[in-house]
Amino acid sequence: MQKIGFIGIGVMGNSMVRNLMGNGYPVFIYTRTKEKAEDLLSEGASWKPSPKEIAEEADVIITMVGYPHDVETVYFGDDGIFAGAGKGKVVIDMTTSTPTLAKQIFEEAKNHEMDALDAPVSGGDIGAQNGTLSIMVGGDEKAFNKIHPVFSVLGNNIVFQGEAGAGQHTKMCNQIAIASNMIGVTEALVYARKAGLDPEKMLASISTGAAGSWSMSNLLPRVLKEDYSPGFFIKHFIKDMGIALEEAKKMKLDLPGLALAEKMYQSLAEKGEENSGTQALIKYWG
């Protein structure tokens, strides 16, 4: 079995590591706060004190961190992945980051005779737990085929999108679609309550028809329970929307639905909801 290095043990990374170990892969982990990794260490993961040492030990290095600047540090820092690089290794950034940075990582990997894939995911905490993530991959197709068995442990919708950066561009499409959809599903719930409907009965009627969506089926039930815990943080969603808007600007493309969603979520973050899940958009209406 290939030795896997995993950097970033957050809401999704934790479950992804668990799935890899459950399928027999030896996994070495690093995160900035070691306490967050204690459960995984007790279950058999091995700790390394830096991304550099992860890269020295592992055959495949997966990163799942917060922001593009975190990705840059993890790969290019003094104790980063490329400081411990080795011929034939594969690096996979599963963070939602920028296409430009994905291309930089790809080019630097080539300089070290390594392969690099950008492979952001969709599916939230539920998809990570169940190993049913959608994985959007950019980079070299031969490297993609080589790593496919690893991806298949983490997801069940795994599509090679094209050259380096294509995975990140595809994730931007995903986030653009979710952004406007989240406005729609939460507005529907606000309307139902104002009209005196039973929200659960309303959802039973519309969630399996043309209005149905993943967000409606998986996130609105949490809203009804007043559960705003993060399957995906608002602060990270704002980051993603910002990337998408910046990429759209470069292409001279106007995306008014995305701009509205970013504005609404930004107003929630300013009220202290940045660490809530994206379903907390319902609080925009008070």
Domains of the chain in sequence order: 4-163 (3.40.50.720), 169-285 (1.10.1040.10)
Nearest to 143 by CA among 164, 117, 172, 110: 117
CB 127 within 8 A of CB 155: yes
Whether pLDDT at 187 is above 90: yes
Name 282's Cβ contacts closer than 8 Å, sequence gap at least 6.
186, 189, 190, 223
Contact assessment for residue 241 and residue 262, using Cβ atoms and an 8 Å cutoff: yes
Q: For position 198, what pLDDT does the model report?
A: 98
Distance between CA atoms of residues 221 and 10, nearest Å: 23
Examine the pLDDT at 11 and tell me if it is beyond 90: no
Are the C-beta atoms of residues 253 and 211 closer than 8 Å to each other? no
Closest by alpha carbon to 187, among 215, 214, 209? 215
Angstrom distance (rounded) from CA 170 to CA 184: 22
Whether residue 73 is predicted with pLDDT greater than 90 in this model: the reply is yes
Q: Is the dihedral of CA 46, 137, 73, 241 positive or negative?
A: negative
Q: Which residues are catalytic?
A: 171
* Average pLDDT estimate for 212-217: 96
Q: Tell me whether strands 121-122 and 133-139 are parallel, antiparallel or unpaired.
A: antiparallel
In this prediction, residue 276 has a pLDDT band, given cuts at 50, 70 and 90, of very high
Residue 90 three-state SS: strand
Percent of the chain at pLDDT > 70 equals: 100
Question: Which residues, at least 6 apart from 43, have a Cβ–Cβ distance to it below 8 Å?
Answer: 18, 21
The model's confidence at residue 264, banded by pLDDT at 50, 70 and 90, is very high
pTM: 0.94
pLDDT tens-place string over residues 127-183 = 999 999 999 999 999 999 999 999 999 999 999 999 999 999 999 999 999 999 999
| pLDDT-derived band at 260, boundaries 50, 70, 90 | very high
